[in-house]
Amino acid sequence: MIEKQMQVIDPMVIRRDFPILSQKVNNRPLVYFDNAATTQKPQVVIDAIADYYSGYNSNVHRGVHALSMKATLGFEGARETIRRFINARYTHEVIYTRGTTESINLVASSWGRKNIRKGDEVLITELEHHSNIVPWQLLCEEKEAKLRVVPILEDGSLDMDAFRRLLTDRTKLFCVTHVSNSLGTITPLKELVSLAHQNNTLVLVDGAQAMSHIRIDVQDLDCDFYAFSAHKVYGPMGIGGLYGKEAILDAMPPYQGGGEMIKTVTYDKTEYNELPFKFEAGTPNAGGAIAFGAALDYISGIGISAIAAYESELCAYATKRLMEKSSIRIIGNSPGKTSVVSFLIDRIHPYDAGTILDQLGIAVRTGNHCTQPLMDRYGIHGTIRASMAFYNTKDEIDALIAGINKVEELFL
């Protein structure tokens, strides 16, 4: 990934690019701390969507007229932008999907059904989102394979000794999040991939929470699959992608049948298209893809290193302020985590706290964050999650603390 030199983030300048942040909620200035669920969109992304639908809305790859050719150039140009952002070797290793969930299901349905056999094992971790659990449960049930789970330590980091023990000659695939959406834990991905490959185990990475926070280099990581979503990285919903190594994708059967993924069709036989089109059946979300490219260009223009440094500062400040209160219990304190702080307030249900905070204009997420087994591991039903982005400020963190004080006044 090519980015500008390190610069200092000025959130007040950044916020001008995000029109939604200037509004009031319940007559209070909006404090948006739900970025792990979805990030807000800069004006350049909104403009990219509007420009596509108002100026050159057309299907891609299928027309010789001007609008179709312009849409195709934008669509494929965005694919190249994604390739650069994650440093894939080839553009055709980037498959457009609806997002991380569909990307994982694509691998489970295509690679998994072809390669997983009775008695094989698929390995996941206790950190995983439901989207990186349920597809593998379905596959293992169908194939009479075994789903194994790597436990975590109390601070939310992976138990590496347990990982080594669970990695056996039966382990065909290891599926792991790059960054936990609930705890902010950054997994030691390069080491995990290396150990898995020494065992002839392929690795799929859920990168949904990583792309907006840390630099991604799939060649350096050497992972076999990397799944991601645009809306987690300041792009639109309903679009995302799957990176896969060329040789592995080539050997996989199509995920869905229809237009675009074919070369020739007769009633007797269909010849499938080349990569990446073999996995992109039907009319694509061209406008979403083009806007995704605009989002990544925007992030690259600021610099992911600068973003990571500023968000780390925010996370440290939020953690410090929360730990000043004896009534707060933070769930997950792994070293070097991203800007996610999950916490509980003594004797107050997260939903009640979240409702009051919303009345104060503060948006946080409450519940199990689609990681119910992880919550079970801590013996809790859910948390209050404040997830921060590079447009958030320390003043907003202070507003959160003041909001928590108000919650305690009302309930305790």
Question: DSSP characters for 156-208?
Answer: S-B-HHHHHHH--TTEEEEEEESB-TTT-PBP-HHHHHHHHHHTT-EEEEE-T
Question: How many angstroms separate the CA atoms of 338 and 314, rounded?
Answer: 10
370 has catalytic annotation = yes
End-to-end CA distance of the chain: 50
| Catalytic option among 175, 223, 315, 370 | 370
* Amino acid identity, position 128: E
Structure tokens at 249: 């994708």
Sign of CA dihedral 403, 41, 46, 370: negative
Q: What is the enclosing helix (H) or strand (E) of 377?
A: helix 372-378
Mention every residue, 6+ apart, whose C-beta is less than 8 A from residue 198. Answer: none
DSSP class of 236: -
Question: How many angstroms separate the CA atoms of 132 and 104, rounded?
Answer: 7
CA proximity to 134, closest of 121, 147, 143: 147
Question: How many angstroms separate the CA atoms of 236 and 113, rounded?
Answer: 31
Catalytic site positions: 370
